[in-house]
Amino acid sequence: MKKLLALLGTCLALACAGATAATPGVTAEQIRVATIQDLSGPIAILGAPIRDGMAMRFDEENDRGGIFGRKLRLVVEDSGYDPKKAVLATRKLLQRDGVFAFLGDLGTPVVMATMPLIIEAGRPHMFPFSPHAATYQPLDPLKFQLFAPYQDYMNAAVRQMVTSNGYKRVGLLYQDDDYGLEVMKGVEAGLAQLGQKLVEKTSYKRGATDFASQIARLRAAGCDLVVLATVVRETVGAVSEARKVGWNVDMLVTASGYSAQTHELGGKAMEGLYGVSVMPHPYAAGANDRLFEWIERYRTRYDADPNVWSVMGYNVADVFIQGLRGAGRDLTVERFVHAMEGLSTTRDFFGGPAYHFSAQDHLGNRHGRLARIEGGKWVLISDYLK
């Protein structure tokens, strides 16, 4: 009888090991999760805090015992904001590291190049830092997005700005890639609802540092509002160029430029800049008790102040963990997808939105808020816009 029980126990253990082995990235002890960030290129100032926020949340969960006893392991690759380099990193993560899912990959050009490989390999593609419609449409079991899409939130933001301030001549400076084109579609749609069109639009290549010709062109067109489809460094460059030549036109930047680094790098020239916020910035002054405690833990861990990208990294990791918990002990891709399709969250201590997913809709939130730099920090000036 003892030999029979031992044999049955061995068979059961082998069966469980086989079940977990059948799900890439999942073992009895570990769940491997990939993220592709820019840690050495033009938007590394975003990629590093995103990575740090994600790692902080994963470590918190591991300290509590993990997901049904499995520890979370974050496997990080650097794309340098280069789609070709990102493709090579994706293949390594799929073939050598054998990860379960990709979480919070950064940059629309990177995401557009790598997402097809990830989906084809049967891995969940979760909450990329690319509010592009393709990250959740057409509906696919493996694609989930947290962040309001560029088209939706820029449509609403431009309508709000024009209606409130009476602008008549709106111009656009945009990055010449999928990111910029998505923003353009949203801006044009919002203006069309108000019976207006862009009076001028001009582009720049990724990594550009000189915006003199673009600013001159927009100024010559008599723009009274300039929309910026830029990221942090390019936002600072464009706004600074306008102020340097004495042009104090109002400017509105997408959520890609809504960051503390914008006013920290740009200084006084950034005063009055409008932006779209999908998550509030974590300033310690005026923070609620839970947020202040989180800020202190982040400072202790990284010897640096968190910013909105740190918060968003932490946030994507937290929602992902909720999905893993909902999938249960026997983790498979199918069980995880089913759990995600029934997941709803509440607004947290950061002040971000609630997220809702269903079998028919894999986009958690569609709305952004307006903010403005006042006194050297971002101040929210609206609730979520519809």
For every residue of 112-150, DSSP letters joined together read HHHHHHHHHTT--EE--B---GGGT-S--TTEEB-SPPH
Mean pLDDT, rounded, for 173-191:
96
Residues 8 and 130 in one domain: yes
Residues 376 and 233 in one domain: yes
pLDDT value of position 16: 43
Q: At which residue do the structure tokens 């960051």 appear? A: 259
Residue 363 belongs to a domain: no
Residue 123, pLDDT above cutoff 60: yes
Residues 60 and 200 in one domain: no
Mean pLDDT, rounded, for 292-315:
97
- Give the ranges where the chain is alpha helix by DSSP (H): 2-21, 44-63, 83-95, 108-120, 150-165, 178-193, 212-220, 232-244, 260-266, 289-302, 308-327, 333-340
For the chain, the domain total comes to 2
Residues 12 and 125 in one domain: yes
183-205 burial, b at 16+ Cβ within 10 Å, e below that, comes to bbbbbbbbbeeeebebbbbbbbe
Q: List CB contacts of 121: < 8 A, sequence separation 6 or more.
A: 94
Residue 233 belongs to a domain: yes
Q: Are 240 and 228 in contact (CB under 8 A)?
A: no
Residue 19, pLDDT above cutoff 50: no
Mean pLDDT, rounded, for 181-201:
97
Whole-number Cα distances in Å, 66 to 16, 33, 101: 18, 13, 16
- Please write the tens of the pLDDT for every residue from 197-215: 999 999 999 889 999 999 9
Residue 21 belongs to a domain: yes
Residues 111 and 203 in one domain: no
Residues 47 and 129 in one domain: yes
Residues 299 and 255 in one domain: no
Residues 81 and 155 in one domain: no
Residue 360 belongs to a domain: no
d(CA 281, CA 312): 10
Give 22's DSSP letter: T
Residue 2, pLDDT above cutoff 90: no
- Please write the tens of the pLDDT for every residue from 133-163: 899 999 999 999 999 889 999 999 999 999 9
| Mean pLDDT across the chain | 94
Residues 96 and 195 in one domain: no
Residue 385 belongs to a domain: no
Element of type H or E holding 372: strand 369-374
pLDDT value of position 99: 98
Give 174's DSSP letter: E
| Short-list 319, 320, 294, 290, CA closest to 306 | 294
Between 11 and 278, name the one with better pLDDT: 278
d(CA 55, CA 46): 15
User: How many CA atoms lie less than 13 Å away from 115 in the CB half-sphere?
Assistant: 27
Q: Are 200 and 172 in contact (CB under 8 A)?
A: yes
Q: Which long-range contacts (CB under 8 A, 24 or more apart) does 293-297 make?
A: 294/349, 297/56
Residues 6 and 130 in one domain: yes
pLDDT value of position 169: 98
Q: Are 78 and 38 in contact (CB under 8 A)?
A: yes
pLDDT value of position 386: 85
Residue 109, pLDDT above cutoff 80: yes
Residue 18, pLDDT above cutoff 90: no
Between 20 and 330, name the one with better pLDDT: 330
Residue 305 belongs to a domain: yes
Residue 28 belongs to a domain: yes
Q: List CB contacts of 151: < 8 A, sequence separation 6 or more.
A: 133, 182, 183, 185, 186, 189
Residues 187 and 310 in one domain: no
Residues 247 and 340 in one domain: no
Residue 17, pLDDT above cutoff 50: no
Residue 266 belongs to a domain: yes
What is the CATH classification number for the domain harbouring 100?
Answer: 3.40.50.2300
pLDDT confidence tier of residue 7, bands split at 50, 70 and 90: very low
Range(s) of the domain holding residue 189:
150-277+370-380
